[in-house]
Structure formats: structure tokens, C-alpha cells
Structure 1
Amino acid sequence: MRSITQAVNEKYSDDDEDTSGSGFILFVRKSSPRKRLPSTLILDHCEIDSVGDEQFLSSTLHEVNELDLAHNQISKWTEINKLISCLPKLSFLNLSYNLLGSANVNAPQILHPSLKKLVLNRVGIQWNDLVPYLSLTPNLEELHLSFNQIEISDQEKDNETIQVFPKIATLHFDGNRVENRDHLRWISTKFPSLTSLVLCDCPLWTLRWTSPAAREAQGRNMSGSSLASSSSSTGSLSASFCSGDGKTSPCCAPFLERDCTEPIGKESTDSILFPCLRSISLNNSMFDCWEEIDQIRNWPSLAELRMQSCPLFQRMTEHERREMTIARLPNLRRLNGGGDISAKEREEAERNFLRRFHDSEVKPARYQELLDMHGHVAPFAKVKLAPPKVANVSVRYGEQSWNEKNLSLYMTMKELKEKFSFELGLPASKLRLWHSDHQQPMLMRFPAKQLYSYNVKDGDEILIDEKLG
């Protein structure tokens, strides 16, 4: 184990290199030790467990504004207090993967106005223990709290003196216990100026329900009570797969039938979440119904969405997922990275959405909006791309003629010749077959070639004659 002081000396010292193996020695005046370190220090994976000489840090690191201490062994918050007090210009601090936990958290009693980005991924801290630190960083703009198993308690949600952090615009909250709409409201209230939110790998299963119990109670009041009775132990009313077509996805029907005075997709002004949010990542969430995704359009500033690997998408191709999402969310400008959604792609997605739900028993609310916008959209013509397997042809041999119905086009010319040989009582080796599509007859020369390769089709004629000699 070592201190930050030791790690800095080892990595950034100006000690002379070993010259014992050189052929001559040049004596010069010894240079003074480095007094000015880089403004960005990378000290990850250095087995650091303490600060060390505070006086040295204050005098040597006072110009440092970015410090990465990820993957070290710091376990005491008192060491973090010492560090912060020694670095008055620090704007970025990464403490990820240190075993800090929530025990004995005592924040320093001085403000740290220079800190703008704080990274605390996998340090084991809980929210209530972090608040004192956040209160002393009034200019913090970006906060990373991923994979700390942070739980949002009911007491915190109902607390009348909710502490707000209006300067924080970017929040990474991956892998924490964000499950339902109340949890999202908690985040929106704590960070009212959020423009970017990352919620990957969270057990988030609903954007419209406040809890499993509330959803289950709602289901009991719906006419589709049979759906509620078949729900899982978690209270989910959703089917195992939702296509959103009103036929194979009964999970959408109860929400459409709810007793509500406001139109679907609309919220009262005081219940709007994330008024400033422009970008959100919801990868590996637990959504299993398109009605959940429809709620995203209620976030007034949202333009960019990342959402992959949800149960809802399991039985859909990537193209279908993208097309359905774009059609349902008119506010999106970018989906899953890449360039902006073009006007052409959006129009195609919306028109295909109308085709998809044209014959559905239960249509999404978005259907009527798009119908008013694009009008009736004719369904795609059903085109059979597979070649026909049989054909009805006429056969003529001399003065005899007859019709062959459902003649297999996968039969070879040799097999057809043997068939006619049996019917005419003539040896197959003596027969020749000609194919005529009412133009110049063509001799069928290749015994192993199947009839569809000769372009035999309904209405054509097979002519039979005998070889001479």
C-alpha cells in the first residue's frame, strides 16, 4: 500500500536515470526537483490507501484540477476530506472502485466551489450519506453514481424539505434501484436541470405506474380483470411479449380503458418529469409493453434516446424496433446514437405504423394522430416471391392431346419422359419432348433439368414426337 504522496513521487519524480552502464560520466549541476506537476494526474491502480503528507500535497498539487484515483484501496472518507482541502482548484475527481462505503462519512465543513465533475461508481455509498458532500459542491455539474445499489426510500420521497441540486446537468445512475415512476419523479425533483440522464441496467419496468401494488390495484378496477388475474407475482399486467397491436398484447388494453379525464399521452403541468432533459439512456431496462415507451413523449425537451436489450424487443428485428420507436415518439431526433433521424425515415416509419395497425382491434392513441397527418395508407401488396410448384399444361402427341393438371415443376425432363412413355406404351429412349409457350417450340435437351428451369408455366404446351432412326 502507498499514499498519494508516494504515488506522485514515484510517477512524476525527476530523479536522474541510472548511468552505471555508460562509458563515461558527464557531471552537470543537479536540477531542482519538479515543482510544477501536470494539471491532470492519473493515479489509478496504484494501491493507494491514504493521502500522506498533506503539506507536500498542498504545496505541490495546488494547481491540479483533474485527479483520477479509480481502482485504489481508499476506505476512509477522512482521507477524502484531507485530499479535497489540499486541492483548491480541483474540478474533476474520480474515486470509482474504492472501498469507501457509507460508514463514518463526515463531510468537510468548507465549500469546494471548483469541483464540477465527481465520479463515485461502485464505492458503496448510499444517497443520504452523499448529500453532505453534494451540499458543499455548489457548482457540481456532472455526477456519476453508478452501481452503488442506491435505493430510494419512501421517507426520502415524502420528505417536505427536499434538497435540490439545480446545477447538476448530467447524472449517471446505472445499476441502482430505479424501478417505477415515483423513482423517476424523485430524480427529476432532486435534479431539476438535468439535460442528460443514464439509467442503464436498472430494474425500471414502468414509466406510467408508481408501484407494482398501484398497478395491480388499477388492473382490478378494469373491465379486463381476467388479465390482472393472470399477472405475475410482481403485479405486472403485461403479456410476456407486447407487439402493441391490440391482439397479441392484452397488456395495452387496460390502460386504454382506464377512467381518466385527460387524453392518453398528456400530463398535468405539475406532474411533468424532466423538463430540461435532452438525452436519456435506458439500455437493459425491463419494459415489456409499448404503452410504457409512449410516456417518453411527455418529457418536453427530450430529443435523444438510447434503448436496447429490453424484454419488449426480444421478438422483433432491429429494423422493426427502430421503426416502431420512431413512429411512436415524434419528439425524437436521434435513436441509439448515429446521425439524426431524417424526415424520410420518420415518414416511412409513421406510414408503416398505420399499415401495421390498420386491422387491429385496439389501436394505439398515436394511430389517430398519424391518420390525421398522413391520411389512409394502402397496405402493401402481397407478392409471392417463391416460384410456383405446379402448372396446368396441355400435351399433344400426333393426333392425341390431353391436359396435365398440377404437373410438378420440380420433376426432371427424364422423369416426365418416363411418365409419357408409360402412358403411350412407347420406350422412353424413342421419345423427344418440346416445350411451347405459344411461340417457337424449343427442344428439351437436358434429362436432369427440372421443368421450372425450362420456364414451364400454366397454359404452356408439351409436344411429343419420336426420334428418327
Structure 2
Amino acid sequence: MATASNPMPIPAKTTQSELSQSVESALEDLEMKYTSPPDDIEPGIMFLSSSPPKGACVKKLRTIILSHHDVSELGDMNMVAQTLKNARDLDLSHNQLADWSEVVGLLRVLPKLNSLSLSFNPLNSEIGTKFNDFQHDLERLELNGVVLSEEALNTILKAFPRLKVLQHCLVPIEHHINPSVSSCNLESEKENNSSSAHPLRDLTLQHCQVSSWEKVLKFASKFENLQFLDLSNNQIIQIQPVDDRLQKLKILCLKACPLYGWESFEALADFPVLEDLRVTDVPFLDEFNCDLKNNLLIPRIPNLKLLNGSEITPHYREGCERSFIRFYQTHDVKPKIYNRLVALHGNVEQLVFVDFTPKDTVTTKLRCPETNRRYTVKHKLHITVSQFLAAISKATDIPMNLLKVLHVTPQYPTRPPDELRASNLFFDTLKVEDDDEFHVFTKIVAPKRARTTSKSGI
């Protein structure tokens, strides 16, 4: 390790540029990040504390993050073991680690480490003998952006027999799958996989350029205990019915996969314990509105309890299944699940469609007994009463100050007429319905009395 107390030996031919690069070790970055004093303290300010020094606090940290630090080596392993002895989660992603020997050396001195991220490091695709006779109880490993050969991946899985979570995204995995396996050799392949099955529980393969569902099954079949599988942003178009592989799968994520046809989703019913499905941003499903999509998808997978993070209650499932029956009652070709749902719920009746959309226009009758005129008027409801009266005044040539309009409801003969008065209220507040009538009259204005003045004689 390159520290003040134990300087890193520098070869005689080391240039100044090489010297500046040789200090990029994990320990040095750890010291700079967690023990260096802050450089933004104003002069004259002093902090007094009874807490232990920063260097002592580092040794108690359980989560260490050293991502984006250009780390190319880890430094003195004895110092690593001493400094990170309590670490359980270590993030070394987005660095410059290339040699797997550094990784093995790190894990040897940190036997209690639970989680390790090596994502986006230029690690060699071949491991060779570096993991020979080595095992570790690591439970979570992130290798996103790290290209590995099939042999290297198998070596890693053997080195971590208790690994539960593996992330291996943004790398092609086609070379991990043997395309030449024929159907006659499938049973022997299953026996080999089951005899050496890995206890992996969660597998994430986002952006891995996978286009075949069968290849997914072949790759994932080595993990017979798999419960979570994330295949987001792959090119899977169709899902075929499965056999006895992935029988423990509970959560499946197919976000942004170009799946097409209901047959693919019906095939998911073959997973006996699948209860959580995530299929957002799937173009085929996005053609339907939310309610119709749920009504057509949920009944096809009987064990489903969560769809895109939303709980499917028994009451909601029953409603979806009844809507499913109604939807396909008039179709000649019915899905496989249709008869089972009819046996469960019966032939439900079609619902009567009632349109509760608020009206924006109304058709009324305008009568002017004085001129014996009648009009049928279709007008908007969002106009004001004053605007409506002004239009009547113009149509009947009755001045506004002499206009009297009564709102009559023939369908409710016992309701007395209402006189309309100019206001800024919108017309829909009058609760006007189709076929209502407006009777127009001229107000009778009493003539003004002539002013008489008495003249008294002088």
C-alpha cells in the first residue's frame, strides 16, 4: 500500500507519469474519501468532538463505496484486511481493475464480505486458474458490463457456492448457451444441471441481447432454485410453453420486451408459483387501455398476485375474470382459460352501457306567442345566461330591457316556470335538458305618469 508510513516501492525505471498512476490503489482512495479532513472549512472555525478519529471510524464501516475512483489495484492486502475487516458491502464499480488476482486476493482477506460490485471494470474475460481451490461465502455479486466466457462464469459460480443474487447486465450472453443441444440430449442436460445446480435465487440479465425464450431457459436452468428473473430490455418476441424448468420462479420482469400475442402470456401460466409479473413498456400491451389490459391479462395467469407492482385482490381478480368472459362471449375463437372461467362464474350477462359523459350541448324549443314564432335551438351549455338572453333578443327583435324569458319543463308539468335573469352564471347551472322550452314575452311597462305642477295665483 502506498501510504506515508509504508510507501510503495517504485521501480528504478518508473517515469513521472507512471509514478502518478501508481498511486491509484483502493486503500489510497479509501483514505482520501473517508479520512482526509474537509477542505471547505472556513479559517478560524474549530470543531471539538469526543468521537474517535476518522481513521478509526473507517474500520467500523460496513458499507464501502469506491466507485468512479480509477482504482487499478487494491494495495497491500494486509492493510486491506485490517482497514475493511468489518465491511459487508463493497462497491468497486466503474474503476480500472483488470486482473482477477486482485479480486481473489481481496476476497481471501475479507471472508465476511456479503456483497461485491465489480461492474464496469475492464476485467479479463478469461479467469484461468486464479480461482482454483478457492471458495467464498459471498451472497451478492454485480458484474454488469463485464464480459465473461462461459468457462469463466462457471468458475465464478463454483467459487461462490452460497451466491444468492447475480447481476450480469449490458453484456451479450449468447455464448453462454449451447445452441447445439438437441431434444434427445435435453434430458441428460437436465440431469447434469440438477446434479450441479447452483442455489442462486435472483438473476438480472438486462440489455443482454437475448432474443430467444428457449435460450433463456437453457441459461437459467442451471439455477433450479431461481425465484427472481429480470429480462428487461431484451429482444424476446415470443414465449413458448415451458417444461419443468424454473419451477420455483416467483417474480418475472419483462419490461420493454417486444412480446407479441396473448399466447406468450398464456405460456406464463405454466410456472406453478409465478405471482409477480412486470410488463411495463411492452408495445403489444400498450395498445390497450389500463382496464382492458388488466381484464385480458390477469385471468390468463391464475396464480398472479402482483401486476406491475399493483396488488391483485381476490375481488379485483373476480371482476377481471367476469369482464374476460364478457369480452370473449362474442368471439368465435376463445382462449384456453375461457371454459374454466365459465365453469367458475357461469355465462355472465353483458353489461348495459350507460354514457355518463357530461353533455356540452342541449336542444331546446323557443316559443314567442306574441309573434307566433317557434324555433328549435341547439346551443352550448358553457355560455352564460346573459349571452343566451342576448341571442334571444336578437332573434326576436325584443330589446333586452323589455325581454322576459320563462324556462318551461314539459316533462315536469307540476314544476312552475322559472324566469331567466341576465347573469354571468353558466347555462348548465340551470339544469336545462333536451326538449325543454323557453317562452319569450315582451315586458309590460307601466307608462310613466306625467308630472303635474300646480300654479297658485298671486
In the superposition, the TM-score normalised over structure 1's length comes to 0.71
Alignment counterpart, residue 132 of structure 1, candidates 143, 147, 155: 155
SS at match of 2:416: coil
In the superposition, the TM-score normalised over structure 2's length comes to 0.72
Residues 279-307 of structure 1 show CA distances to partners (whole Å, capped at 9, x for unaligned) of 12221111132221222111111111222
Name which structure has the greater RCO, CA cutoff 8 Å, separation 6+. Answer: 1
SS at match of 2:178: helix
CA distance in 2, matches of 1:288, 1:70: 36
Indicate the residue corresponding to 1:306 in structure 2. Answer: 278
AA matched with 1:330: P
Q: Which of the pair has more CA radius of gyration?
A: 2
Structure 1 402/361 Cα, relative in aligned 2: closer, same or farther at 3 Å? farther
Shift of 1:99: 1.1
Whether 2:433 is the aligned partner of 1:463: answer: no
Alignment counterpart, residue 286 of structure 1, candidates 239, 258, 280: 258
Whether 2:298 is the aligned partner of 1:326: answer: yes
Indicate the residue corresponding to 2:216 in structure 1. Answer: 184
Whether 2:401 is the aligned partner of 1:415: answer: no
Shift of 1:347: 1.9
Indicate the residue corresponding to 1:435 in structure 2. Answer: 407
Deviates more, 1:429-438 or 1:55-64: 55-64
CA contact (8 A) 1:95 1:120 kept: yes
Indicate the residue corresponding to 1:112 in structure 2. Answer: 135
CA distance in 2, matches of 1:448, 1:10: 71
Q: Which runs of 5+ in 1 are unaligned?
A: 16-20, 23-30, 209-264
**1:168-183 matches, cutoff 5 A:** 168-183=200-215
CA distance in 2, matches of 1:140, 1:452: 67
**1:64-463 matches, cutoff 5 A:** 64-103=87-126, 105-152=128-175, 155=178, 158=181, 164-208=196-240, 271-338=243-310, 340-384=311-355, 385-387=357-359, 389-391=361-363, 393=365, 395=367, 397=369, 404=375, 406-410=376-380, 412-421=388-397, 432-437=404-409, 438=413, 439-446=415-422, 454-463=430-439
Shift of 1:135: 1.9
CA distance in 1, matches of 2:58, 2:390: 92
CA distance in 1, matches of 2:219, 2:172: 15
Whether 2:25 is the aligned partner of 1:3: answer: yes
Shift of 1:53: 2.6
AA matched with 2:232: C
Deviates more, 1:175-184 or 1:302-311: 175-184
Shift of 1:345: 1.8
AA matched with 1:108: F
Percent identity of equivalent pairs: 24
CA distance in 2, matches of 1:52, 1:394: 94
Shift of 1:116: 2.3
Shift of 1:5: 4.3
Q: Which runs of 5+ in 2 are unaligned?
A: 1-20, 38-42, 45-52, 381-386, 446-458
Shift of 1:150: 1.8
CA contact (8 A) 1:409 1:451 kept: no
CA distance in 2, matches of 1:7, 1:432: 88
Shift of 1:98: 0.9
CA contact (8 A) 1:284 1:309 kept: yes
